[in-house]
Amino acid sequence: MNSGKTMLKISRCLYFMLLCFLFFFTMPLAEAAKASTETRAAFPAVLMYHDIKTRPLNNFDVTREDFCAQLDWLKQKGYRTLSMEEFIDGMSKQSFPKKRVLITFDDGYEGIYLLAAPELRKRNMHATFFIFPKAIDTALKGYPYVTLKELKELAADPLFSIGSHTMSHPYLTQISPQEKKKEISDSKAYLEKLTGKPVTALAYPYGDYDASVIAVLKEAGYKAGFAVNDRGTANEPARYSIPRIYMGMVLGENRQKLFKQYVREYKKMPEEAFAERFGDIF
C-alpha cells in the first residue's frame, strides 16, 4: 500500500518534471519558430501586374490573352487566390494553406477595371489594387487611370482589396520625413474614406524603400509593405519587404513558361537570387 502511494508520488513527480521540461524547452523553440517563420520563404507567391491591355504599349503591360492564360493555369494547378485580409492574417498566424497566391496591380490604370476585373470575376479570383490618389481621373499618354466611380465599384466588390501606392508616387527614400509621413498616412486616410474599408498594405513606388520608410509605415498602422524585388533593406521584418514576381514583357518570348517556373520556385528562392532572377526592372 505504502509502496503503491510512493510509486504514485514518484510518477506524479516525474509527470510534473516532464511538464516543466516541455514548458521550458518547447517555449523557446516555439518562440524561435515564430520569429523564423515570418520570412519570405513562408509567404505565398505574390504576382505584380501593372496594366492589362488589348495591345501592349509598354514592358509592364500584359495582354488580356496572356493574363487569362495565367489565371487559367493557376486554377488548373489548384492555386487559390488570397484577399489582402487573408494574406495579412496568414502572416500574423504565420501559417498559409498550400497553393495560395496573391495577385497585385500597381498604379491603378483603367485596364484593371476594363479588362482585369471582369476576367478575375469570371474565375472568382481575388486581387489587390495599389492606388495612388493623385492619378485618379487622370491619364498619361496612352495610359488612362481609373475614375473615382470605377474605383468605388472595384472597392465595393468583395473579391478585390484596395491598397496604397502613396499619394503621388514619389521615391520615398528621396523625400523629407514630413513628406514621407504625408504620402504614407494621407493616402491611407483618403482611400479608407473612399472605400469605407481599412487600408493595411502599401506598395512602395519604384520599389524604393529603406528602414526610415518602414518606420513611418508601421507608425501609420500598415501591416504589410510590398517591394518590387528584394531591393532595399534586407534586415527589416519580412512583412515590410515582400518581394513580388514581375509580370510583364521582360519575361520575353517564354513568359508563360517562366511565369509557371517563378510561381513554383518563389518559396525556394534565396534573397540574393531574387534580384538576379527577376532582373532590374525599371
Q: Around Cβ 119, how many Cβ atoms within 10 Å?
A: 17
Name the residue whose CB lies closest to Zn ion: 106
Residue with smaller CB distance to Zn ion, 133 or 205: 205
In the complex, the smallest distance separating the C-beta of residue 106 from Zn ion, rounded to whole angstroms, is 4
Residue type for position 77: K
Burial of 222 (0-12, 13-18, 19+ CB in 10 A): buried
* Angstrom distance (rounded) from CA 236 to CA 210: 9
106 binds Zn ion (CB under 5 A): yes
Q: Which stretch binds Zn ion (CB under 5 A): 99-107, 134-142, 172-180, 211-219?
A: 99-107
* Angstrom distance (rounded) from CA 136 to CA 139: 8
In the complex, the smallest distance separating the C-beta of residue 217 from Zn ion, rounded to whole angstroms, is 16
Chain residues 174-233 in contact with Zn ion, contact rule CB under 5 A: 205
Residue with smaller CB distance to Zn ion, 61 or 106: 106
| Pairing between β-strand 80-81 and β-strand 100-107 as defined by DSSP bridges | parallel
In the complex, the smallest distance separating the C-beta of residue 201 from Zn ion, rounded to whole angstroms, is 14
* Angstrom distance (rounded) from CA 281 to CA 238: 21
Residue with smaller CB distance to Zn ion, 205 or 243: 205
* Angstrom distance (rounded) from CA 39 to CA 200: 19
Residue with smaller CB distance to Zn ion, 111 or 205: 205
Binding site for Zn ion (CB under 5 A): 106-107, 205
